[in-house]
Amino acid sequence: GKVFGRIITEVATILRGKNKPCFTPNVDCGDYVVIINASKAKFTGAKLDDKNYYTHSGYFGSTNTHKMSEMFEKNPEKLYKLATSGMLPKTTLGKAMLKKLKVYAGSEHPHTAQIKG
């Protein structure tokens, strides 16, 4: 497996379309990205134990803390989407880019017909 952060930065660049010569910030010119074997990623340092993600429902006192290790064991797909969304624009264009990301924990996925090469 590759390092988690390096995967995410490369994915965000492809989703945004920055690797293309026709890149324009106000146009969604990115490609679809399919990540397989998401559960085999590596983490550097002690991020799995030390890094926390916070959620809030909007009610008073409803802040929840989730450890990165628990999220990765329970649902690695959600962790990939959360990390990628942090690197994309926080607009409707960014949401459209995030919809082009497909993540699968195992090697089986329904996109075998779209694979190039």
Residue 44 lies in a domain: yes
Split into its structural domains, the chain has a count of 1
- Reported as a single tens digit per residue, the pLDDT across 30-87 is 999 999 999 999 999 999 999 999 999 999 999 999 999 999 999 999 999 999 999 9
What gap in Å lies between CA 2 and CA 4, rounded to an integer?
Answer: 6
pTM for the complete prediction?
0.88
CATH assignment at residue 34: 3.90.1180.10
Q: Does residue 82 sit within a domain?
A: yes
Q: Does residue 79 fall inside a structural domain?
A: yes
- Within a domain: residue 115? no
Among 59, 60, 81, 64, residue whose Cα is nearest residue 72: 81
The pLDDT, as a whole number, for residue 117 is 55
Within a domain: residue 98? yes
Q: Which domain holds residue 53?
A: 4-109
